């Protein structure tokens, strides 16, 4: 146990959040329980109401967030920055690591040690699996994982789950199909694991090359939820409550010919959606490339832009919780 200068105690590494969020790292969805998810969702509901009513609050006035992105990002970085700004705090944005000392050869631990001497919480995106965990081992301040390579993306999974709950009213009893790059898609790895906390049936739709990694599949099987794998989105579409579509992660392929072979394997079109239930939603963590036709955007079941907006409310809730102000 480390006692921090500001009185926050960080207990072990990536601990389970039974004791609440205050001062804790957010590294993996494995940390969450249904109880603390409900808490974050309730706070996110309040954040939404505040933003709609008055735009911002001064809950985190005087607090500083360091936002460090070693990989490209539009939504995750800007929604964290917007979240901190709407809570009255300020941000050190390091989106272009090429302008930081990282290009001079500075290590991740030294970068983290530097930023935590200026900031109260650090959001980190990094191309290597486990990078946030490593950062958390060095940092005395909370580290929030904003994506570690093909590993996890826990805050995206929180906003995904929050979206399903907001759109469909409940989580138990649903059939969720995840489609596309299940191999490299970290949002899928986190969401699938998180859904294990609920009575949810999951179908994983991917070409052979992009099937869900065995360790994730085993995690889901071991929690006893019904799981199916399929190549065909047509076969799954009529029965699902949530269709979670993902981009083929071009940057993860060593062989670009392999990427070309699978890049447009699935495209969700209005014709395909004619087979889907009337009450269901289509989600996507975004960015989309070709996998959802633009002509679907006006379908009320297309929830991906609402999902993206929810990211800001969830991140406001998380920042407030981790800094002990929720």
165: three-class secondary structure by DSSP: helix
Structure tokens at 88: 């009255």
How many Å apart are CA 142 and CA 8, to the nearest integer? 9
Query: Mutual orientation of helices 304-322 and 34-54 as an angle, nearest 10°?
Result: 100
Task: Determine which one of 75, 140, 252, 325 is catalytic.
Answer: 75
Contact assessment for residue 92 and residue 67, using Cβ atoms and an 8 Å cutoff: yes
Residue carrying the six token digits 């990094």: 126
Task: Determine which one of 76, 155, 166, 187 is catalytic.
Answer: 76
- Angle, vertex CA 226, rays to CA 247 and CA 232, nearest 5: 40
The answer to whether 86 contacts ligand NCD (rule: CB under 6 A) is no
Task: Determine which one of 153, 186, 247, 284 is catalytic.
Answer: 153
The answer to whether 247 contacts ligand NCD (rule: CB under 6 A) is yes
Closer of 76 and 95 to ligand NCD (Cβ): 76
Peptide bond into 280 cis (omega under 30): no
How many Å apart are CA 64 and CA 59, to the nearest integer? 12
Closer of 24 and 156 to ligand NCD (Cβ): 156
Task: Determine which one of 48, 63, 86, 125 is catalytic.
Answer: 125
The answer to whether 75 contacts ligand NCD (rule: CB under 6 A) is yes
Closer of 48 and 153 to ligand NCD (Cβ): 153
Closest separation in Å from C-beta 205 to ligand NCD: 16
How many Å apart are CA 263 and CA 111, to the nearest integer? 35
Helices (H), 55-174: 75-86, 108-116, 131-138, 154-168
Tell me, yes or no, if 263 is annotated catalytic: no
Strands of the sheet with 64-69, listed across from one edge? 90-94, 64-69, 121-126, 143-148
Contact assessment for residue 234 and residue 260, using Cβ atoms and an 8 Å cutoff: no
Closer of 21 and 70 to ligand NCD (Cβ): 70
Closest separation in Å from C-beta 292 to ligand NCD: 12
In the region spanning residues 272 to 311, those forming contacts with ligand NCD, defined by CB under 6 A, are: 285-286
Tell me, yes or no, if 125 is annotated catalytic: yes
Closer of 142 and 151 to ligand NCD (Cβ): 151
Tell me, yes or no, if 76 is annotated catalytic: yes
Interface with ligand NCD (CB under 6 A), residue total 11
Closest separation in Å from C-beta 253 to ligand NCD: 13
Q: Max alpha carbon distance in the chain (Å)?
A: 59
- In the stretch 121-160, what mask flags binding to ligand NCD with x, by CB under 6 A? --------------------------x-----x--x----
Contact assessment for residue 55 and residue 86, using Cβ atoms and an 8 Å cutoff: yes
Pairing status of strand 9-10 against strand 2-3: antiparallel
- In the stretch 174-203, what mask flags binding to ligand NCD with x, by CB under 6 A? ------------xx----------------
For 23, half-sphere exposure in the C-beta direction (CA atoms, 13 angstrom radius) is 14
Closest separation in Å from C-beta 35 to ligand NCD: 26
Tell me, yes or no, if 3 is annotated catalytic: no
Closer of 8 and 29 to ligand NCD (Cβ): 29
The answer to whether 77 contacts ligand NCD (rule: CB under 6 A) is no
List interacting residues with ligand NCD (CB under 6 A).
Answer: 75-76, 147, 153, 156, 186-187, 247, 249, 285-286
List active site positions. 75-76, 104, 125, 153
């Amino acid at each position: 146990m480390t006692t921090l200068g500001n009185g926050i105690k960080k207990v072990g590494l990536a601990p389970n959040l039974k004791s609440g969020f205050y001062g804790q790292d957010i590294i993996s969805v494995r940390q969450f329980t249904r109880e603390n998810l409900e808490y974050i969702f309730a706070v996110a509901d309040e954040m939404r109401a505040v933003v709609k009513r008055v735009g911002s609050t001064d809950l985190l006035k005087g607090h500083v967030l360091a936002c460090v992105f070693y990989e490209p990002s539009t939504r995750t970085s800007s929604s964290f920055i917007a979240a901190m700004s709407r809570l009255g705090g300020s941000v050190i944005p390091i989106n272009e690591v090429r302008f930081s000392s990282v290009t001079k050869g500075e290590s991740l631990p030294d970068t983290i040690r530097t930023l935590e001497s200026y900031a109260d919480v650090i959001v980190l995106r990094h191309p290597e699996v486990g990078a946030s965990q490593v950062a958390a081992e060095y940092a005395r301040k909370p580290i929030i994982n904003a994506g570690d390579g093909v590993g996890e993306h826990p805050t995206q999974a929180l906003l995904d789950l929050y979206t399903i709950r907001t759109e469909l009213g409940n989580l138990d009893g649903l059939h969720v199909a995840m489609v596309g790059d299940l191999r490299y898609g970290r949002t899928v790895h986190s969401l699938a694991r998180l859904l294990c906390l609920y009575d949810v049936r999951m179908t994983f739709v991917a070409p052979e090359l992009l099937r869900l990694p065995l360790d994730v599949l085993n995690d889901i099987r071991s929690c006893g939820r019904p799981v199916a794998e399929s190549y065909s989105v047509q076969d799954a579409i009529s029965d699902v409550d949530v269709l979670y579509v993902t981009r083929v992660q071009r940057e993860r392929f060593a062989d670009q010919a392999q990427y070309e072979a699978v890049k447009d394997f699935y495209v969700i079109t209005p014709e395909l959606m004619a087979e889907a239930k009337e009450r269901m939603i289509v989600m996507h963590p975004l960015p989309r490339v070709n996998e959802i036709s633009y002509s679907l955007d006006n379908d009320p079941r297309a929830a991906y832009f609402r999902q993206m907006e929810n990211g800001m409310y969830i991140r406001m809730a998380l920042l407030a919780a981790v800094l002990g102000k929720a």
